[in-house]
Structure 1
Amino acid sequence: MPEHHPGPTTVTLSAPGIRVDLVGTGAALARVELTDGHGDGPVDVVLGHGDLSAYREVRDFQGATIGRVANRIDGGRFHLGDRAVEVPLDPDEPHALHGGPEGFDRREWTLVEASEDHATWSLTSPDGDQGFPGEVEVEVRYAVAPGRLTVEHRATTSASTPVSLTNHSYWNLDGEGRGDVLDHTLQVDADTYLPVRPDQIPTGEVRDVAGSPFDLRRPVVLGEVLAVDDEQLTIGQGFDHHLVVPGEGLRRHAVLVGGSGRRLEVWSDRSGVQVYAGAHFDGRVTGPQGVAYRPRAGIALETQAYPDAVNQPGFPSVVLEPGQTYASTTQWRFS
């Protein structure tokens, strides 16, 4: 008989005006349905998979918890003190990406507890997992309230190891499957950004956004700014860059407004936000409404630490030590 794989655990959270579906694969955010008076009836504003098995089978990170280390690691190599560490490369590029080919986004997480308005998932990442040292215990907690969705990440480790977690949701505020986001406006509260080499690894420079397409301190129309002739936009096929948000603690990182007028504010205590404008969608992924996703079907606003920080002494460290607790909070506020 063929081997049977049970489907992932699913959880639904709700509060007035908002319903959220979570999937145990990747502790992923699969649906964010808003009832807010914009348009007809509830609208799902986050991209997802039409088939739940695709969260395991298709590695495109939709809605997933990313770890151990979000974003790229140059050549999949770094040092922890005197120790050389090598982690698997991404199948499609010469660097490690988002924790490795079998990163946290591919795992079945354990549902710890759930109620009407919150749920917590846990994962044990063993010593040597995807090449990373130390056993890491991770928890992700989602909570909803009227007009608000919060995600909290926590992690501890048995040995020195890099930890940088994020959520990798793609947003389309006019509705999942309703075309591209080129008519959305984006504002990011960042004075600087990290330019990248042609292979998309940060150069190490922290560059002023002034005079560049990365000056998003005032709202810009995505279709207009992505059409600008700029070397960095060419490298990233549009935005695929980390913007540094000054300050500490929970603060606003970004504002996204759809053509419908629906508004999302992203608040976080992370150092910045990786803005990725969804260039890779090519029609092979189908969403819950049965619509194939094309380029710019959604935009990711990934609150996280600096990419490749393990190889960049000028960047804030992402190394977690035994006895420490990694803790981060991101809020999505809708209006």
Structure 2
Amino acid sequence: MDRGGTRLRVLSYGGVVQSLEVPDRHGRQANVALGFGDLASYVDSSPYFGALIGRYGNRIAGGTFTLDGSPYRLPVNDGPNSLHGGDQGFDKQMWTVEPYEEEGDAGLLLRHVSPAGEAGYPGRLQVQVAYTLDSDGRFGIAYEAATDAPTVVNLTSHTYFNLAGEGAGSARDHVLEVAAARYTPVDATLIPTGELAEVEGTPFDFRAGKQIGRDVRVAHPQLLHAQGYDHNFVLDKGVMAEPEWAATLHDPESGRTMHIATTEPGVQFYSGNFLDGTLTGSSGTIYRQGDGLCLETQHFPDSPNRPGFPTTVLRPGEILRSRTVHSFTAD
């Protein structure tokens, strides 16, 4: 798809955003999404590059939760925990893809049906995701889901961004601003402790904007747990009916800026800590730690086991609706 200076390439496997091209301050296009040049690499070794995530984005402690008095057990694929729907999550599924145009916007409708009991989750879940590019080049993701039995759902996109361009090296000189006065600290297995901690006076304060690399090596217990940032930020705005601004990412070198607006209450900031030089990207460049970062708009990790967190329960007759919009500028 191509609209307003933004070009998007999507795979039906995993609903993967394979490339997202936007112009820099001189009008030069570059792909700002990390990924591979061939399908086999996504199947064999992808750390969720560009993928749609479900049924549950992020971690669930011990791979277990209880809903309406009934216990459920999920695949454990991240130490003792279940991550991103288990080892056969939505990122490993084939989605049906249908192109469309609406009032000048270009779009792709992706659909997937997850049968009852898949990966241990209750309910037959019908999911539709719309990728859109509007006339201003804004990249939107709209999620919908319905179930025939009570279940838990947390859908997100796992694109790794580098606004200097895929293969350009470290993204740690990018400046990140996040509209969050609190975040959810984690234990050694990256499960939230349940606390909503203040960011003020910590390396997690991005409210005024700062370079990602400025504090990433500070000997803070939370950064040691994750080998960098891999934390959910509690957005000040909470859950909204329409997308509101949540975060801005800026690359001083290229001038590219990405603004993120979402209906979701949280954004998981992951600073690419586990990119270890074993993967080669679409440009033929080896990816190393910090060469890309994720800003995953979502509900909070382990919410099914944390009644104090915004609920991720979906019941029959309800429709889950969530939207995130990425806007690009260059200066």
Fold agreement, TM-score > 0.5: yes
2:87 matched to 1:101? yes
Deviation at residue 114 of structure 1 after TM alignment: 3.6
**CA RMSD, Structure 1 to Structure 2 (Å):** 1.2
Q: What secondary structure does 1:117 align onto?
A: strand
**Cα separation, 1, equivalents of 2:226 and 2:276:** 16
**Cα separation, 1, equivalents of 2:24 and 2:221:** 39
Deviation at residue 112 of structure 1 after TM alignment: 3.2
Counterpart among 17, 21, 25 of residue 5 in structure 2: 17
- 2:295 corresponds in structure 1 to 301
Return 5+ residue gaps in structure 1 as ranges.
1-12
2:186 matched to 1:199? no
Deviation at residue 227 of structure 1 after TM alignment: 2.2
Aligned residue pair count: 321
Judge conservation of contact 1:17–1:36 (CA < 8 Å) in 2: no
Deviation at residue 303 of structure 1 after TM alignment: 0.2
* Aligned residue runs from structure 1 range 29-44, under 5 A: 29-38=17-26, 41-44=28-31
**Cα separation, 1, equivalents of 2:64 and 2:174:** 38
- 1:7 corresponds in structure 2 to none
Deviation at residue 222 of structure 1 after TM alignment: 1.1
Q: Which amino acid aligns with 2:123?
A: G
Deviation at residue 260 of structure 1 after TM alignment: 1.9
Q: What secondary structure does 1:112 align onto?
A: strand
Residue identity over aligned pairs, in percent, reads 40
- 2:15 corresponds in structure 1 to 27
Deviation at residue 209 of structure 1 after TM alignment: 0.9
**Cα separation, 2, equivalents of 1:17 and 1:124:** 33
**Cα separation, 1, equivalents of 2:18 and 2:294:** 14
Judge conservation of contact 1:266–1:332 (CA < 8 Å) in 2: yes
Judge conservation of contact 1:50–1:286 (CA < 8 Å) in 2: no
* Aligned residue runs from structure 1 range 46-65, under 5 A: 46-65=33-52
Deviation at residue 252 of structure 1 after TM alignment: 1.0
**Cα separation, 2, equivalents of 1:56 and 1:326:** 28
Deviation at residue 240 of structure 1 after TM alignment: 0.3
Deviation at residue 34 of structure 1 after TM alignment: 1.2
Counterpart among 186, 199, 203 of residue 213 in structure 1: 203
Judge conservation of contact 2:229–2:269 (CA < 8 Å) in 1: yes
Deviation at residue 43 of structure 1 after TM alignment: 0.6
Moved more, 28-37 or 107-116: 107-116
Deviation at residue 113 of structure 1 after TM alignment: 3.5
Judge conservation of contact 2:246–2:261 (CA < 8 Å) in 1: yes
**Cα separation, 1, equivalents of 2:33 and 2:130:** 18
Judge conservation of contact 1:160–1:320 (CA < 8 Å) in 2: yes
Judge conservation of contact 1:56–1:107 (CA < 8 Å) in 2: no
State TM-score, norm by structure 2: 0.94
Q: What secondary structure does 1:102 align onto?
A: coil
Judge conservation of contact 1:59–1:106 (CA < 8 Å) in 2: no
* Aligned residue runs from structure 1 range 1-335, under 5 A: 13-38=1-26, 41-90=28-77, 92-115=78-101, 117-145=106-134, 146-247=136-237, 248-249=239-240, 250-258=243-251, 259-335=253-329
Return 5+ residue gaps in structure 2 as ranges.
none
Q: Which amino acid aligns with 1:53?
A: A
Judge conservation of contact 2:25–2:255 (CA < 8 Å) in 1: no
Q: Which amino acid aligns with 1:317?
A: T
Deviation at residue 324 of structure 1 after TM alignment: 0.4
State TM-score, norm by structure 1: 0.93
Q: What secondary structure does 2:308 align onto?
A: coil
